[in-house]
Amino acid sequence: MRNTENTLLRLGRGARLLEPILALPAQTRRLLSPTKREPIEAVRKHLTGHVRVLYFSHGRCQDCAIASLQDDVRQFCIRNHLRLNTDLGQHFLIDQEVLDRIIEAAHLVEGERVVEIGPGIGVLTRELLKRKTNVTAIEIDERFVPLVGYFTREYGKATIIQGNALQVDLPQEPYKMVANIPYHITSPLFRHAFLESPTPPISMTLLIQREVAEKICSTKDRGILSVIVQLFGIPKIVTHVPPRSFLPPPKVDSSVIHVECFKEPKATAKEMEEILKLTKIGFAQKRKMLRNSIGGMPDGMERMESAGIEATRRPQTLTIEEWIALARTRSL
């Protein structure tokens, strides 16, 4: 115990991050002794959940611990008396590997504009600022607005907008969207970015619910959202993320999705409007054949025949090109 206390004293400012170690069993505390030569595997076995990485060399402790991102976020929340509202989708990402995958997938360039939705205290914001990007973060919870600047203060300053991201005007100049978004706004956010804003993003790199991500990327079992996204870009899943990567853990698995947007969408504005109308009718009864949904529209059967679409098919089997072809039969 005395060796552990001496170690904490030498660490100085970082000592508070190791305070939980003082309550560990004696066998585990002995592994922290600066004079002890123990294999790193043994240390990790005893300290899982308390310390992420330990370094030992020549029997001396070079760095007794490097605080994990989880510790960093939890300590910050405790110091600022934060209670997270899961009804607003407040699940902070505490996995550095996942953060790195998000940044890598976004292909960020120094100086380019990035829009982040729901920064929380700024976990992802901090990584974006490290890449010297021009970050605009939109946060609905006013409690977090001043905290983002404090959490990210060592790496620069982001522009924080307090408000509902679905009601805030997105930039008219080129930008990328990178965010760990509240899962309940996934579909409305894609619609806002693609259909309601004058300038679609260059790309979108989002952490969303795994089931929704897989649906968006599907080419064999499409839904309305996957049709919308695939009209504007090519989606792909970057990695899957387990609940333990969040604080607090959500009840579902998550995925990082990257959408590389086309310079121009595959359909015109008028065609897009008709596609949305057709998909709404078709997917309202997705288990039924098209003849029982779109076929019930005026000239519906004729339009499908003109587009070369069999009326016995179901809406989820149609390709993006077939939806466009069907929309172009509107004048018939």
* Residue-range domains of the chain with CATH: 2-67 (no CATH), 83-261 (3.40.50.150), 269-327 (1.10.8.100)
pLDDT at 24: 43
**Nearest Cα to Cα of residue 248 among 128, 84, 124, 43:** 84
Task: Write down the pLDDT at residue 219.
Answer: 87
pTM beyond 0.85, yes or no: no
Q: Give the chain's end-to-end CA distance (angstroms, integer).
A: 84
| H helix or E strand, kind and range, residue 134 | strand 134-139
Unique residue bearing structure tokens 């790193």: 40
Rounded to whole angstroms, the Cα distance separating 126 from 135 reads: 10
Residue 118: CB atoms within 10 A of its CB come to 22
Each of the 332 residues of the chain gets a pLDDT tens digit; together they read 444 434 333 333 343 444 444 444 444 444 444 444 444 444 444 444 443 333 333 333 323 223 488 899 999 999 999 999 888 889 999 999 999 999 999 999 999 999 999 999 999 999 999 999 999 999 999 999 999 999 999 999 999 999 999 999 999 999 999 999 999 999 999 999 999 999 999 999 999 999 999 999 998 889 999 999 999 999 999 999 999 999 999 999 999 999 999 999 999 999 999 999 999 999 998 789 999 999 999 999 999 999 999 999 999 999 999 999 999 998 65
Task: Confirm if 278 and 303 have CB atoms less than 8 A apart.
Answer: no
**Residue 87, C-beta contacts closer than 8 angstroms, at least 6 positions apart:** none
Helices (H), ranges, the chain: 2-11, 26-30, 40-47, 69-79, 96-106, 123-130, 145-151, 186-194, 210-217, 224-232, 269-284, 300-306, 320-327
Task: Check if the beta carbon of residue 164 is closer than 8 Å to that of residue 117.
Answer: no
Question: CA 231 to CA 275: how far, in whole Å?
Answer: 10
Q: Are strands 203-209 and 60-66 parallel, antiparallel or unpaired?
A: unpaired
Cis amide linkage into residue 171, ω under 30° from 0: no
At 331 the pLDDT is: 62
